[in-house]
Amino acid sequence: MRAVVVEQWGGPEVLVEREVARPEPGLNEVLVRVHAAGVNPVDFKTRASGALIEWGEVPAVGWDVSGTVEAVGPGVGMFRPGDEVYGMPLFPRQVGAYAEYVVAPARHLAPKPANLTHVQAAALPLAALTAWQALVDTAGVRAGERVLVHAAAGGVGHLAVQIAKARGAYVIGTASAGKHDLLRQLGADEVIDYRTVRFEDAVGDVDVVLDGLGGQNAERSLTVLRPGGRLITLPGPDDVPADVPGHVRAVWMLVEPDHLGLREIAALAERGALTPVVETVVPLAEAAKAHEIGEQGRTTGKIVLSVA
């Protein structure tokens, strides 16, 4: 099968398409023929340094997949060949989603949202699960609460806006002015241009902050939280502020595979409450180009690799 692998750590140019052995499913595993693979910032970090994960014999990047079940291993009862599935298998262990086939534990996948294409579905798993696990599982967002989403037009952010809105929250997003119309279309009640306005001067009395930026942004976010407020920061554990007031909670969260979360996300998509924005679609062989675009840090929504 064709797969994009990393022959040495470095820039996007180290991503190379190679012919490698097709994997075979084992106990409780399925073999997925990949139609599309999502591209995420964590892909850039692992490609550049090999950090964060356990590598296999042939280093391969990517986690987001949408495709068709090709074969099932012993013990799998929930899927059959031909089923359309999507997911984020094994994260943060290596799975190698930039490939024609991947093997995944059955419960790291879920039925693909019926109303989405494979390209759209591949844009969802890592980013949407991050937003879901942060807002629903960790912060417990409730109807009527005020939620501030930083980098609201990015991969995680634009999905977090929609998930928070679907939970009945009042949603505030930070983004450059050119992305405000999109965020309003996605359900944001307020938008703040971070380039011209300090968000802490424009908003307060917030129940939940989802921070995908870290550093001083996380520290500043503490100042807008009301008593009982929750700050969820995503970049890394060092981005949790050192001095957190006793009346609020601040945590770092790392996404994990989640069959039930994928089903909830699919249900939102199927009822029209969650729509992934795909800015760019790139062929598998041009994965390096996708990384070059993504590392500019200006992507609205997601970049997706077309595999099939």
Structural domain boundaries in the chain = 2-126+275-306, 139-252
Query: Considering the domain 139-252, what is its CATH architecture?
Result: 3-Layer(aba) Sandwich (3.40)
- Region 127-139: mean pLDDT is 98
Cis peptide before 237 (omega within 30 of 0): no
Identify the CATH number of the domain defined by range 2-126+275-306: 3.90.180.10
* CA 299/CA 214 separation, integer angstroms: 18
Rounded Cα distance, 200 and 237, in Å: 23
State how far the alpha carbon of 211 is from the alpha carbons of 51, 125, 241, 295, in Å. 22, 19, 12, 19
Report residue 151 as tokens: 């980098």
Tell me what the pLDDT averaged over the chain comes to: 95
Alpha helix locations (H) across the chain?
41-49, 118-122, 125-132, 155-166, 180-186, 199-202, 216-222, 259-270, 287-294
Which of 13-17, 53-57, 124-128 is predicted with the least confidence, judged by mean pLDDT? 53-57
- Alpha-carbon distance of 22 to 214, in angstroms, equals 39
pLDDT value at position 60? 84
User: For residues 158 and 130, is the Cβ–Cβ distance under 8 A?
Assistant: no
**What is the per-residue pLDDT across 189-237, written as a single tens digit (0 to 9) for each?**
999 999 999 999 999 999 999 999 988 999 999 999 999 999 999 998 9
Residue 164 has pLDDT above 80, yes or no: yes
pTM for the structure as a whole? 0.96
**pLDDT cut 90: percent of the chain above it:** 89
Show the tokens assigned to 68.
Answer: 């068709």
- How far CA 27 is from CA of 75, 149, 199, 209, 301, in Å, comes to 6, 40, 50, 40, 36
Please check the confidence at residue 111 and state whether its pLDDT lies above 80. yes
